[in-house]
Structures are given as C-alpha cells and as structure tokens.
Amino acid sequence: MRHIVVGSSGFVGQRLVQALLEAGEPVVAFSRAPVAGGPTPEEGAGGVFVPGDIRSAEDLARLDLRPDDVVHHLAARHFGNGVPLHGRDAWFEEVNVGGTRQLLAAMRRAGTGRMVFFSTDMTYGLPERLPVTPDHPQKPLGPYGRTKLEAEALIRRAAAEDGLRATIFRPRLISGPGRLGTLATLFKLIRKGLPVPMIGSGRNRYQMISVDDCVRADLRAVAAGCPPGPFNLGSETPKTARDLLGAVIRHAGSSSVLVPTPARLVTATLALLDRFGRPLMYPEQYLSADADFVFDTRTTRTVLDWRAEDDDVDVMIAAYEAFLRL
C-alpha cells in the first residue's frame, strides 16, 4: 500500500508526509512544487515527489495510481493563496471542485478505492446550536465553504456509485508552527507591544485544532479502513479568544493590551474595505469571528479512537514562537 498525498506542499500535507516517512511508509508526494527536505523526484527512503496540478488529468496520470493505494486529498485553494478581488467563486471552484472531480476520475480509472479528505468547518456557516455536531446544517458564508461543500458532495456520490471508501474531516482552525494567516497581524502587534483589537468582546470560545492532531486523525482513519464520517476535529478544552491572545501576550512578555470592539461596526468596516479591494479579512473569516463556535467530536473519538492531544494555548504559543523565527 502506498500513501498518495495530494497537496503535499500544504501545511497539513507537509506534516503528513513527514509522519508517514518517519513510520517507514511508502509515500508519493504530489503538488505543484516540492518542499525543502521532502521527497524528491528520485525515489528513495520510502518517498518520491511527483510534480503536478490536481486540475490536470495528465499530471494525475503520472501518479500511476494502484487499487491498493490510499489517497490523502489535501489540495485546496484557501484564504492564504492570494484571493482575487473579483470572480472568487470561480477561483475557488477551479481547484476545490474541479480538482476534486479530476482526482476522483483518476481514482475511478485506476480502481483506487480509499481516500481521506480534509474539508472545513466553514461548510457549517454560523452555528445554529452548540456544540456543532456532524449533522449540523451546512450553510456556508462564502465561496471557500461552498466549494468545499461541493467537493464533499462529489466524494459522497463516488462512494455511492463506485464504492469509494472516503473519510471526510471537518477541522476547526488548523494551527501550529508555520501556519499564520490572520494570526500574523496579531502576532506583529504583540511583538511590538501594541494594542491588540478583538472583534467583539473576545469572550466567545474560539476552538482550534493542531496540525499534529489532524495528522493523527488522518492516520487513524486509514487504520480504520476509511470510514465515511463526516468527522469533526477540534481541541478538547476550547478557550475564549481573549484567553488565547492573553496567553500569547503573557508568554511574550509583551505590554500589549486586548481591546474589545463593537462587532457590528468592525464587520461593516471590514466589508467596506473588502469591497474597495483592501481586504484585511474575508467575509467567511470575520462574520464568524465573534461567534461561540465549538465542535462536538464524540463521533470522531468513538469511531476512530482519536482525541485531540494538543491544547489550544500551547498551539498558539508554538505558532508565535515560529513567527519570531521568520
């Protein structure tokens, strides 16, 4: 059995490839660009890198998929990829939906029957009840969540029509060393000892999940035969946004203070900036920033014998320390 990691240059993809190689598993890493220290085009030490684009049937054919392979689908366009001002739905759809369709077609031709797919918490939209269970209504707030939801539908259709065994994960905000996004702005303020604004009071629980816990869940899914789920991924003891940022400030020895702001006014301002081509955050990010958002992970724990091992505060501090090294 080979592990085909599609999107191997991404945040989770890099960690997954590393974990598989350390476990002595045969790995094929597939992405548009190689990762420093990762597999190379010359197969060795259990791993090989195949350059390619998930949107290209020709590139996917170079994977030479086999029936006993397991495909880890991590390729996606997200908010860290330089989102265009106009045509966002089509931009996200090109990879998140079109790429998924191409990958499923390649698997169908090869008779490859197992997949692990990382979707997103953004398919749910704003929580209607807490904690958010996997059967919670899915009402995405924007194109990223919508296209991930469409990808989920394609995968479920392949399961129904082709017998694909595919695990769908919906993680909360994935964090850890090397992943910054909107956190980079906050970390810069903390490093300089400047006031740190929060959207709203900051007393809402802002659950996260570490990249290493995501990798552990992925490996548990493969060991369990790729049960469908969907499975929520989130930390065991979610903290408030105020607690998380306050912990980083104390760790940094910073003179920064947390500043609550009127959520409606801030979101209106962010929407105006986005409209005029100066986005600080995107609607899917700021519309839920002050929401109490906590996942129920009981199904994940029961079916996959998995639970999050990393605490959100520790993960935030590790991300801040990595930021300082940039």
Going from the N-terminus, what domains does the chain have, and what CATH number goes with each?
3-175+210-235+296-309 (3.40.50.720)
d(CA 305, CA 294): 20
Tokens of 158: 């392949």
Written as one string, the DSSP assignment of 226-252 is -----EEE--SS--BHHHHHHHHHHHH
Tell me how many degrees the CA angle 58-117-35 measures, rounded to the nearest 5: 60
Among this protein's residues, is 144 annotated catalytic? yes
Catalytic entry in 144, 206, 282, 286: 144
| pTM confidence score | 0.95
Determine the pLDDT at residue 22: 93
pLDDT of residue 179: 79
pLDDT for the residue 81: 65
pLDDT at 43: 67
Whether 131 and 295 have beta carbons less than 8 Å apart is answered as yes
Q: How would you class 213 by CB atoms within 10 Å of its CB: exposed for 0-12, middle for 13-18, buried for 19 or more? A: buried
- Residue 35: per-residue pLDDT: 79
Residue 51's alpha-carbon distances to 11, 33, 34, 62, 93, in angstroms, are 17, 6, 7, 9, 21
Burial 153-166 (b: 16+ CB within 10 A, else e): ebbeebbeeeebbb
Q: How far apart are the first and last CA of the chain?
A: 37
The pLDDT value recorded for residue 37 is: 76
If the chain, 326 residues long, is cut into consecutive pieces of 10 residues, what is the mean pLDDT of each piece? 96 96 95 82 79 98 98 93 88 98 98 98 97 98 97 98 98 90 90 96 96 98 98 97 97 98 94 88 91 97 98 96 93
Q: What is the pLDDT of residue 171?
A: 98
Note the pLDDT of residue 79: 86
